[in-house]
Structure 1
Amino acid sequence: MLAFGAPVAGAIYKDRPAAFGVAENAEGKIALAEVTKPGKAPYFDLPGGAVDGDETERQAVAREFGEETGLVVEAGVLIETVSQLFLKSDGQPVRNFGGVYVVKLLGEKPALKVEDDHRLVWLDPRDAVVALRHDAHAWAVAAWLRRGL
């Protein structure tokens, strides 16, 4: 597992199983979630998030894509398993760990989107590498590009 993020001195990080995906459209752009929280500058993440209950990482990626973007996807090839230390927007220290997958776009179902603070944006993958909030996400997109996945 590749580890990213520098710990904040004294912070105790809560482990959170999570999975994310890289979805490419016909124009060669990838899906990102632009997240806007009150009083914070917007930031970009790969769609994905926590693995709930007994679901698999692949199931979590599909569910989270729907909740964040309204896209219907299927997780395919694992790009890499990563961990990322970060502070959530409420200041809680978290260590996400899990897979980043290549995902296949199957369609759109706007009714799936329930996270009002997330907005689907499509960026050139090279621009995404710079824009993404988490180093683990940027690294995974770069690896996806380099490996031709």
Structure 2
Amino acid sequence: MDIITFGEKQEGNEYIWRPAVYCLMFNNQKDRIAIIQTSDGKYFLPGGGIENNETHEDCLKRESLEEMGMDIKIGEFIGCARRYFYSTNEYKHYLSEGYFYLCEEGRQISKPIEEDHFLKWIEPIQAIENLFHEHQSWAVTEVLKQI
């Protein structure tokens, strides 16, 4: 399987492979998409790194609870894309391998656990232009072709 890759692998740097799962969740009118804004102003799709032997579903359920306090319904697989990047928070080089799923909003279970993560509903074009990771912007573009 050919996986689209963003960013460039720079010689001499050791990259940490980080598989992650993200949800693409739209409101009922399909004119707004859920994003997570962190306290430093960056935009991300809801989701994150797979821990231990989690399945994609387990990871998405855990991450949506942590970031949004919400249960979600996981739907269609959209695709996989990678991004080479340097984390200025952790001072490490990563190869993020993102798996993207179309999801539906579920019920609110609790307040988000991650206090520096804020759920925002924005126009998809705004998400494409402002998401921190290029492979996440790619996933929004891909899902817009399908809905």
Q: What is the TM-score when the length of structure 1 is the normalising length?
A: 0.88
Distance 1:133 1:108 in 2: 26
Matched length: 143
Gaps of 5+ in 1: none
Q: Is the 8 A contact 2:68 2:119 kept in 1?
A: yes
Could you tell me whether the CA contact under 8 Å between 1:68 and 1:115 is conserved in 2? yes
Deviation at 1:8, TM superposition (A): 4.1
Q: Aligned to 2:20, which of 18, 21, 31? A: 18
Q: Deviations over 1:87-128 (max 9, x none)?
A: 2222211111141100111111224x2111211111011111
Contact map agreement 1:13 1:93 (CA 8 A) in 2: yes
SS at match of 1:145: helix
Q: Is the 8 A contact 1:19 1:51 kept in 2?
A: yes
Q: Is the 8 A contact 1:58 1:74 kept in 2?
A: no
Q: Return the letter of the residue paired with 2:97.
A: F
Question: Superposition RMSD on alpha carbons, in Å?
Answer: 1.5
Distance 1:115 1:9 in 2: 35
- Matched-pair identity in %: 27
- d(CA) in 1 for partners of 2:36, 2:85: 17
> Is 1:34 matched up with 2:33?
no
Structure 2: runs of 5 or more not aligned: none
Aligned match of 1:109: 109
Partner Cα distance (2:116, 2:13) in 1: 26
Residue 110 of structure 1 aligns to a residue whose secondary structure is: coil
User: Contact 2:20 / 2:49 at 8 angstroms: preserved in 1?
Assistant: yes
- Structure 1 distance, partners of 2:58, 2:84, is 23
CA distance in 2, matches of 1:102, 1:58: 12
Amino acid at match of 1:53: N
Q: Which residue of 2 aligns with 1:71?
A: 70
On the 8 A contact 2:98/2:135 being kept in 1, the answer is no
Distance 1:4 1:74 in 2: 28
Q: Which runs of 4+ in 1 moved over 3 A?
A: none
Change (3 A) 1:98 1:127: closer
Distance (Å, rounded) in 1 between the aligned partners of 2:73 and 2:54: 14
**Per the alignment, do residues 75 and 29 of structure 1 end up closer, same or farther by CA in structure 2, a change over 3 Å counting?**
same
Alignment of 1:1-149 (within 5 A): 1-27=3-29, 28-36=31-39, 41-88=40-87, 89-111=89-111, 113-148=112-147
